[in-house]
Amino acid sequence: MEPENGIFSSDPLPLVLAAYLFMTVVMGALWAVQRKTRNAAIGDVGWCFGLILVVLWYATQASGGFARIFLPVMLVTLYAGRLGLHILFNRVIGKEEDARYRRLREEWGESESAKMLAYFLLQALAVAAFSLPFLVLMWNPRPPSALVELIGLMIWGVAVAGEARADRQLAHFRADPRNEGRVCREGLWKYSRHPNYFFEWLHWCSYVVMTLGAPGWVFTWIGPIGMGLALLKLTGIPRTEAQALSTRGEEYKAYQATTNAFFPWFPQRRPDAPANS
């Protein structure tokens, strides 16, 4: 990538490498913390706040264009700050480790410590990769009022608000002791089995729209492609649903039969349900 608007005084790719090295140290330290606390969700908190720190550091290396620099800093702080605090208070402080991580520890057996370290270091790489859309947004030579950017900001607002709402609805559902072992079908969870994942993915799509045609635009696709693969095929839906089936059994199978996994849509009638049900 070659700078076209003079915001960066040199090639920004070394900034990304430095960000990765910094996050390797951070994630290594958090891995050591989780060895004592036995709660690997601290790594997810580190991912969120690490992303904020990396983008803030990018901003200090910029040489001009306050409006262009301020926008990505604001967006990453609102997005990652909200998500990081949600995970911190709902899955870390005073909480038992998420069942998905407990399941991983059991699967890894004697190699659990080494594989958990590899997982945390992979999180460091992910921070560097997912910081690229914000770097491209800083680099964008168009004024912040460009139409595609305004459209992208609208998508961003819907996505971040939707993810926050889905998280609140699930937290409220789980806080009620009467819902122990039950499947949440309230609010957005009526239309998708994973609305939080859908809006997380949609959020990354917004940067592709905001920077359409800008220098380095291809790097913004790391967001929706990388997050889409992670959520749909790797650590997201597959592991979440495996855990849900093991704890909620037939009720979750019924939920799977009637409700889309990812994209929100109206629930369907179960294939074995009577026509007048």
The 10s digit of each residue's pLDDT in 173-217 is: 999 999 888 999 999 999 999 999 999 999 999 999 999 988 889
Stretch among 20-29, 141-150, 165-174 having the lowest mean pLDDT = 141-150
Q: Are residues 160 and 244 in the same domain?
A: yes
Name, in order, each residue with C-beta under 8 angstroms of 77's C-beta and a sequence gap of 6 or more.
52
Residue 214 is part of which domain span? 142-267
Compute the chain's Rg from CA coordinates: 20
* Mean pLDDT value across residues 35-41: 94
Is residue 272 a part of any domain in this protein?
A: no
Mean pLDDT computed over every residue of the chain = 89
* pLDDT on residue 143: 67
Q: Does residue 104 register a pLDDT over 80?
A: yes
- Compute CA 53 distance to the chain's CA centroid, rounded to the nearest angstrom: 16
* Mean pLDDT value across residues 242-256: 89
Is residue 273 a part of any domain in this protein?
A: no
* Mean pLDDT value across residues 123-148: 87
Q: Select from 140, 156, 189 the last residue of a domain.
A: 140
Q: Are residues 122 and 188 in the same domain?
A: no
Which DSSP helix (H) or strand (E) runs through 195?
helix 195-210
In this prediction the pTM is 0.89
* pLDDT on residue 214: 85
* pLDDT on residue 270: 62
* pLDDT on residue 275: 46
Is residue 275 a part of any domain in this protein?
A: no
Q: Are residues 136 and 167 in the same domain?
A: no
Q: Select from 89, 117, 140 the last residue of a domain.
A: 140
Count how many domains the chain has.
Answer: 2
Q: Does residue 4 register a pLDDT over 70?
A: no
* pLDDT on residue 144: 65
Q: Are residues 99 and 176 in the same domain?
A: no
Name, in order, each residue with C-beta under 8 angstroms of 118's C-beta and a sequence gap of 6 or more.
none
Is residue 238 a part of any domain in this protein?
A: yes
* Mean pLDDT value across residues 81-85: 97
Q: Are residues 131 and 198 in the same domain?
A: no
* pLDDT on residue 248: 85
Q: Does residue 2 register a pLDDT over 60?
A: no
Q: Are residues 90 and 172 in the same domain?
A: no
